[in-house]
Structure 1
Amino acid sequence: MGFSDFFKKKTSSNVAKDRLKLVLVSDRANCSPEIMEQMKNDIINVISKYVEIDTDGLDIKITQTESEGNNGTVPALFANIPIKDLKAHK
């Protein structure tokens, strides 16, 4: 399952907005879009080993948040991954 699979049911304008957000956030986090895409795919692959996820409601992004030590803002990973069902252990 590739990153582009998450955009199948969205309109082209929504896809463009999501891609622009990805580029802007990756620039702020000093991380290339390719690395962000790879990181998202890795997270999804690991979680998918244990649970069935709803890819239509999937939202993984890097945002800026205030650091605890008053050092300004730092990148933070935000993941909203709807779970459909738990997978049986082998």
Structure 2
Amino acid sequence: MDLFKMFSSKPSSKDVAKERLKLILIHDRSSISPEVLESIKEDILKVLSKYMEIDNGEIDVKMTKMEELEGDSPALIASIPVKRMKVDK
């Protein structure tokens, strides 16, 4: 066991490459092009922006797999920081 890895918060380049490869494979298996994923992201943001103020610099939308579902189905994961809720008029 490497003691330096236990105290380091930065993932190894091997782990980063492995995660990127997983995402590429998931995109390929789900048959969703990057353009379609970007369009989905824009639509989600358009709807959410009606109700809340969003931090556009920290948005992360990606495809992943859900291991607990049968067949490792793809799942859309969205991390969208909210600055504040908009007041109803």
- Mark yes or no: TM-score above 0.5: yes
Q: Where do 1:4-43 residues align within 5 Å?
A: 24=24, 25-43=26-44
SS of 1:44's partner is helix
Provide the TM-score with structure 2 as the length reference.
0.65
- Structure 1: give runs of 5+ residues left out of the alignment: 1-19
Aligned: 1:65 with 2:66: yes
Structure 1 position 76, deviation (Å): 0.5
- Aligned residue pairs total 68
Please identify the structure whose Cα radius of gyration is greater: 2
Contact 1:67 1:73 in 2 (8 A): yes
**Runs (4+) of structure 1 moved beyond 4 Å?**
none
* 3-state DSSP of counterpart to 1:72: coil
Q: Which residue in 2 is equivalent to 1:85?
A: 84
Q: C-alpha distance in 1, partners of 2:29/2:55?
A: 28
TM-score by length of 1: 0.64
Change (3 A) 1:31 1:79: same
1:83 maps to a residue whose letter is: V
Query: After superposition, what is the alpha-carbon deviation per residue over 1:10-41, rounded to whole angstroms, capped at 9, x for unaligned?
Result: xxxxxxxxxx88x8243231112221111010
Q: Secondary structure, in 3 states, of the residue corresponding to 2:88?
A: coil
Percent identity of equivalent pairs:
44
